[in-house]
Amino acid sequence: MKEPKQLSVSAIQNGTVIDHIPARNLFKVIQILGLDRIDHQITFGTNLESKKLGKKAIIKIADKFFEDDDINRIALVAPDAKLNIIRGYEVVEKKVVEVPDTIVGIAKCMNPKCITNFEPVTTRFRVVSKKNVSLKCHYCEKITNQENLQII
Ligand code: CTP
Ligand code: ZN
């Protein structure tokens, strides 16, 4: 017989649930969204079982609703993330994240000679491939791809 569904992290009344985050990238997601700097109630769980991801993490932020542009910033580290918008304890909307066309900050240029690596310049990339992420640096035009992607 199937076990009744149990929540490992309590339900919220209103806010956003970000599910299907790869467990190893939970703290990167927290950093990218600036969740360490807001005073909303936040609960999270990590190393939860997931058929798709192996180990997943989930974050629940009470009374917070993100702009799509802000949430898409996590696509580099949590491409399969699912957003659930909660109102009155009900899931009223589900969204997926999409890799944006440009990435400002977040990623490090892999070219050691790039100005962004020795001057206080915010990195900036054009996304040349979204599937196997490939980023072209606005400053040195070198490509940083999935394998050498480092989050700042
Ligand atoms: N959730 C919550 N508080 C609520 C309602 C839902 O925290 N008041 C969370 C659930 O714990 C779940 C997510 O929001 O992690 C999505 O809820 P639901 O669509 O009911 O779950 P599933 O059907 O398992 O979603 P999916 O398979 O799309 O991930
Ligand atoms: Zn560069």
Q: pLDDT at residue 4 above 80?
A: no
Q: pLDDT digit string (tens) for 30-74?
A: 999 999 999 999 999 999 998 887 899 999 999 999 999 999 999
Domains recognised in the chain with CATH numbers: 15-96 (3.30.70.140), 102-151 (2.30.30.20)
Q: pLDDT digit string (tens) for 62-78?
A: 999 999 999 999 999 99
- Give the H/E segment covering residue 98: none
| Ligand 1 contact, 57 CB (< 6 A) | no
Looking at residue 2, what is its pLDDT?
55
Distance between CA 13 and CA 111 in Å, rounded?
A: 46
Distance between CA 76 and CA 89 in Å, rounded?
A: 29
Looking at residue 6, what is its pLDDT?
78
- Give the H/E segment covering residue 57: strand 54-62
Q: pLDDT at residue 1 above 60?
A: no
Nearest ligand to residue 48 Cα: 1
Is there a contact between 59 and 84 (Cβ–Cβ < 8 Å)?
no
**Residues in the 5 Å CB sphere of ion ligand 2:** 109, 111, 114, 137, 139-140
Looking at residue 50, what is its pLDDT?
86
Residue 119 corresponds to which tokens in the numbers above? 């001057």
Nearest-CA neighbor of 92 among 72, 65, 67?
A: 65
Closest atom of ligand 1 to 19 CA is 15
Q: How would you classify the pairing of strands 42-50 and 124-129?
A: unpaired
Torsion (CA) 96, 16, 135, 108 in degrees, nearest 10: -160
Residue 106 corresponds to which tokens in the numbers above? 């977040």
